[in-house]
Amino acid sequence: YPSGHATMGYSLGIVLATLIPEKSQAILARAADYAYSREVCGDHYHSDIEASHALGNALGIMLLNNAALKPQIEAAKAELRAAHIVTQ
Does the annotation mark 53 as catalytic? no
Does the annotation mark 43 as catalytic? no
Amino acid at 82: A
In the chain, which ranges are E strands?
A: none
> Among 5, 33, 46, 84, which one carries the catalytic annotation?
5
| DSSP summary character for residue 43 | S
Q: How far apart are CA 48 and CA 29, in angstroms?
A: 18
Nearest alpha carbon to residue 1 among 41, 37, 55, 67: 55
Does the annotation mark 38 as catalytic? yes
| DSSP summary character for residue 44 | S
Does the annotation mark 84 as catalytic? no
> Among 48, 53, 81, 84, which one carries the catalytic annotation?
48
> Among 33, 38, 46, 81, which one carries the catalytic annotation?
38
> Among 30, 44, 53, 81, which one carries the catalytic annotation?
44
Catalytic residues, by residue number, are 5, 38, 44, 48
